[in-house]
Chains A and B, each alone.
Chain A
């Protein structure tokens, strides 16, 4: 499961070129292309079907429903907070994992991947036990600061974060590991303290990977259903709303709302990816 993340976040240079470019396409490449095309078609055709199934009128109608708009907005908001929290806590964790050795490091790295292997309904139930009314965190947090995780945005964020944080941690870790420690050492000898070195050398160089991971966390958070639906049914995020529409009104309405969510989340995903590609804040290079 680590590999899945890794292959999605690690940028492969010259990805369209075979290493030793053969003068004519070999059978191997043709076969690979053939198999790959099947998968690509499998991934894309359902989305195209979803998109072409709808009339613009139908889409407009669904977009006019306040519940649907609210659900999509709630999804975006929750995913944003989830991605922000993942970045805030996950990037430091990734940095220690990339740069230090400590007992139990292997176990820690495996733990981070755990949510990817756990069915999300299971994750939801586990979270309920911790953040629910009688939960280890849920009960005292409500008693002390009035923070509730059931029926609130906080609960949605918790559920989203649990299933999507690994993407940020793993991608950031790969990004940090790719930064030559020698560059950090040189920065130190040039008079930059550990903080300045991190902010001016390490972070900018790992920026692309970190943003790729945060983008994946964001996307995964928007799409999360299982954990959210168990921990927080109301207020409804978009996937929950779509499920409800499907149960109550059937395919037509659900599909229209689904397309709407798809358009919004794909648009954001493309935008975020573009931002990540730009890379490197605070370096002022170029």
Chain B
């Protein structure tokens, strides 16, 4: 995949926000999600890439051009913000027609895409030609998203920037718009940077995830890596790992670890290099990787690994799942499908057996 966008060692101090040597690259059509809590510098990063802040150091390359010194109107980025930022005093057609193709001829656009200079064709492409003369105020969120995309596309962008476009929407609409956005971005094959604090956005959209904290990249990788193997407890907490347990390495050999967690001993298979015996470490275990067994059944398999007997201390229904809280010397959370939970036979005083596969335990040094 050729590099379409490169951000190199971008540093900027702006008020309380301090971006610290941000570095990332996007290939053609790639979606990069910048994930981080409020105040991590996500928006400032986007605004710097768009050209609203001059970085203290570092460079930004778009479509092979060094745009670091260019003003926003010459950078060719499509910017989509919360609630989509349509111009309220203009009709849908005027919103799209206002774009000027900075320094790019109308011809020579990518095959299969609507001509950038033709608002009608753009609206048709996004299936919203019938809205051309409507005011933005009356549009649904889905319609607004399409108008915003059509408008951004009208300026022939080399990169799309999304700044939490869904953060004011309800969960159902958000799911729907996310899917729609993803298929549009796939079809357009224009790289996109999507900023969010919602890890569902990252899971659904990202080819690559960058986790930002206090203006610095904490971890970057595929969504699977970030969510399955968070680099530290900050990332783990942020991507919603339900169980983060402090423990100690008892023995380590060939990627097999024996760990002490409270009074219990657990085995973990991990490629992580997290130190030698007696080192304090953190275990990250996603709740869906904790299997609950009816205690009577499981008591018959003495050779099993990582089976922990515990008391059920609470349960909460989340959609089709039940989040079960267990006290097995330390607090453990497990996801069980609702019907399975209802059918589960608890032992005396609500005991249950929890089982964690050794390779489902991710080890972190901090």
Q: Which chain A residues have a beta carbon within 8 Å of chain B's beta carbons?
A: 180, 182-183, 185-193, 200-201, 204-205, 280, 283-286
Contacts and interface: CB of A to CB of B under 8 A. Distances in A.
B79 interface: yes
A201 B87 contact: yes
B77 interface: yes
Nearest to A204: B89
Contacts of A192: 73, 98, 100
B100 A190 contact: yes
B101 A191 contact: yes
Interface string B77-92: 1110110010111110
A191 B77 CA distance: 9
24 contacts: A180-B85, A182-B82, A182-B85, A185-B52, A185-B79, A185-B81, A186-B81, A188-B71, A188-B72, A189-B50, A189-B72, A189-B73, A189-B75, A190-B152, A191-B74, A191-B99, A191-B102, A192-B98, A193-B71, A204-B89, A205-B88, A205-B89, A283-B89, A285-B89
A280 B87 CA distance: 13
B91 A285 contact: yes
A285 B90 contact: yes
A190 B89 contact: no
Contacts, number: 74
Nearest to B46: A185
A190 B85 contact: no
Contacts of A283: 89-90, 94
User: Considering residues B76, B101, B102, B152, which has the most beta carbons from chain A within 10 angstroms of its beta carbon?
Assistant: B102
A190 B91 CA distance: 16
Contacts of A189: 50-51, 72-73, 75, 77-79, 152, 155, 157, 161
Contacts of A186: 79, 81, 85, 87
B90 A190 contact: no
Contact of A182 (B81, B88, B90): B81
A203 to B, nearest CB: 10
Contacts of A284: 94
B207 interface: no
A189 B159 CA distance: 11
Contacts of A200: 98
Contacts of B98: 187, 190, 192, 200
A285 B85 contact: no
A283 B87 CA distance: 11
Contact of B100 (A191, A201, A285): A191
B229 interface: no
A103 to B, nearest CB: 15
Nearest to A207: B89
A50 B226 CA distance: 78
B72 A280 contact: no
Nearest to A197: B73
Interface string B42-81: 0000010011100000000000000000011111111101
B362 interface: no
A185 B47 contact: yes
A280 B89 contact: yes
B154 interface: yes
Nearest to B103: A191
A190 B122 CA distance: 15
A192 B101 CA distance: 9
A192 B97 CA distance: 12
Contacts of B81: 182, 185-186
